[in-house]
Amino acid sequence: MKQRLGLTLAASAILAAGAALAEYPSDGKITFVIPYSPGGGFDTIVRTFAPAMETAMGATVVPENIPGAGGARGGQAVHRAAPDGYTIGIYNIPGLTVTEITGKDLGFKLGEVTWIANLASERYALAVKGDSEINSVADLCGQGRPVKLSDTGTTSTASVTSVISFAILGCDIIDVTGYEGSNDAMIAVLRGDVDATVKPVASLGKYTASGDLKIIMTYTRNQILDGVQSATDIGHPELAKFTINRVIGGPPGMPADVVAKISDGLRAALESEGVQSWANGTGVELDFMNAADTKAMMDELSVFYAEYKDKLAQ
Percent of the chain with pLDDT over 90: 71
Q: pLDDT, tens digit, for every residue of 157-211? A: 888 899 999 999 999 999 999 888 888 999 999 999 999 999 989 889 889 999 9
Contact at 8 Å (CB) between 231 and 161?
no
302 alpha-carbon distance from chain centroid: 13
Q: pLDDT, tens digit, for every residue of 105-152? A: 999 999 999 999 999 988 999 999 999 999 999 999 999 999 999 998
Tell me which amino acid residue 254 is: M
Over residues 35-58, mean pLDDT: 92
Which pLDDT score is estimated for 284?
A: 85
Percent of the chain with pLDDT over 70: 92
Contact at 8 Å (CB) between 108 and 50?
no
* Average pLDDT score, the chain: 90
**Residue 303 to residue 314: CA distance in whole angstroms:** 19
Q: Which of 19-23, 29-33, 250-254 has the lowest mean pLDDT?
A: 19-23
**Residue 253 to residue 83: CA distance in whole angstroms:** 6
**Residue 74 to residue 104: CA distance in whole angstroms:** 16
**pLDDT higher than threshold 50 for residue 19:** no
Which pLDDT score is estimated for 182?
A: 84
pTM here is 0.80
Whether a cis peptide bond, with omega within 30° of 0, leads into 200 is: no
**Residue 271 to residue 238: CA distance in whole angstroms:** 29
Element (H, E) at 109: none
